[in-house]
Amino acid sequence: MYCSECGHQAAGKFCSNCGTPLGIVDVTLEPDFDWRESCDYARIVDEPEVRQRIAAAKAAAEGNVSGSQMLELVDAVASPLMGGLSSVTIAKVAQPITTRLGFKTGKERREFILLPPGVVLANVAVALESIEHTLASVDHDHQQCVLEATLPADLRAMAAKLSIRVQRAEQGSWLAAAAMVHGAWYDWGKCQKGLDHLFQKLCAA
């Protein structure tokens, strides 16, 4: 320690050179961040190990024809027969109307996983890279993290809302996921297959 008054090296409560009281700096160190036990999705996906896994999953998914791309290909052929209107355009107009009428369909799934919440959320991030989606919001606290995403329209059904909740529990985590298509009575298996695909990828992650 050095005296703030004269710069002389000192120890104890007072400087031996000039007698000035030596101040004590209270330094509080931030505890190490353990992403495996965290529910902070943004910090978890920013971990180098997790980023590497996400990048690998994204690279593996590239080149696959997505459901929305297949729909665009079909629309390109069918729209001239429909007066130039695509099914996507029709769905965007119709879905808000049928939603207000109370039409909806969906599936839910909940499982207990013998992994801490941070590891489950990292696996969720990796699994999502294989599913065409748009992440809409992320909300977390110490106990849980909730992700809301949109699955685009495809040949089976209109756009769906995907909700994923990871909740801390003793000896593991609860993972709950729900897929919902608003504005439709039937989704031709879109929600069920979407959840099955998500949980299969989680098991493989």
Q: Average of pLDDT values for 196-202? A: 83
Predicted confidence (pLDDT) per residue in 117-163, tens digit:
999 999 999 999 887 788 999 999 999 999 999 887 765 567 788 99
State residue 160's pLDDT score: 84
Q: Domains in the chain, please, with CATH?
A: 1-30 (no CATH), 37-204 (3.30.310.80)
- What pTM value is reported for the model? 0.67
Q: Where are the beta strands (DSSP E) in the chain?
A: 104-113, 134-140, 144-151, 160-169, 172-182
State residue 39's pLDDT score: 97
CA atoms within 13 A of residue 119's CA, in its CB half-sphere: 11
Burial class (CB in 10 A: 0-12, 13-18, 19+), 176: middle
Cβ atoms of 117 and 166 closer than 8 Å: yes
The residue that leads in pLDDT, 76 or 124, is 124
